[in-house]
Amino acid sequence: MEELILKKREFEEKIVETINNSNLPAFIIKPFLKELFEQVNLLEQQEYEKSLKSKEEKETQDKLKHKN
């Protein structure tokens, strides 16, 4: 868990540094970040659905094991 926290912080710092060093005006950066946010939301939904499916499959397997 700690490793993920550190990776998250490093990732955030790199994004901020990249944006600050881009010398692009906000009206160009803002739509890009909006699109990026939408992509991340989609990925998050896909990960959630995958996790839910995995959990359901595990529960089904556990039920089958307990029947035998």
Q: What would you measure as the largest C-alpha separation in the chain, in angstroms? A: 65
User: Is residue 16 classed as helix, strand or coil in its secondary structure?
Assistant: helix
- For 29-46, the pLDDT digits (tens) are 999 999 999 999 999 999
User: Is residue 24 classed as helix, strand or coil in its secondary structure?
Assistant: coil
Q: Is the pTM of this model over 0.75?
A: no
Can you tell me the distance from the alpha carbon of 52 to that of 58, in angstroms, rounded to the nearest whole number? 10
| Long-range pairs, 35-40, Cβ under 8 A, ≥24 | none
Tokens for 42, please give them: 């989609």
- For 10-31, the pLDDT digits (tens) are 999 999 999 999 999 999 999 9
